[in-house]
Amino acid sequence: MLTSRVAALAAGVAAALAFASPATAQTPNKVVGTWRPISATLEVNGVKSLPYGPEPQGMLVFTSDMHFVELLRDPRIPRFASNERGQGTNEENKAAMAGTLALYGSYSVDAAGNFSGNIVEGSNFPNWIGNVRTTKELTMIVEGDRMIENFQRPGGAKVTIVFERVTMKQ
């Protein structure tokens, strides 16, 4: 009787450990990691432009706990003459706003590990806060260490950004 109880308890513990083990099946995630932009284009009515300049800077980070942070900037944006963030001229503020994008939130992947959407929780463009984006508006296609973002803006503009995965340097 005691032996059967010990065996049942051991089986229960083993089952619980197996269920909680990191070796259990997990959804793959092709986008997780840190990415840097190598090109960014904006197309409006067939006319293409470079919203973050010919050599965009920034970072896109997808965490394993399903959060993201994205910052894009045109490195040619001039410094503010006042050296005070809240004291820019109209021209300085306009250039800074037009040449940068910052947003964060949560994201999801499908069963194959492909990006399947996001929710914008915060942005330097307040109109996007709360937006839910599916693959109808936003795709992130991973091909090795390269990822291509295609975003169809509601007004019809199309954004294409090519990122490269950041790898650790040893």
CATH number at residue 156: 2.40.128.280
Full residue range of the structural domain in which residue 40 is found: 27-165
Tokens of 60: 């896109």
pLDDT value for 83:
93
- The answer to whether 154 and 143 are in contact (CB under 8 A) is no
Whether 15 is in a domain gets the answer: no
Structural domains counted in the chain: 1
Q: How far apart are CA 17 and CA 10, in angstroms?
A: 10
Tens digit of each residue's pLDDT (9 = 90 or more) over 110-168: 999 999 999 999 999 999 999 999 999 999 999 999 999 999 988 889 999 999 999 87
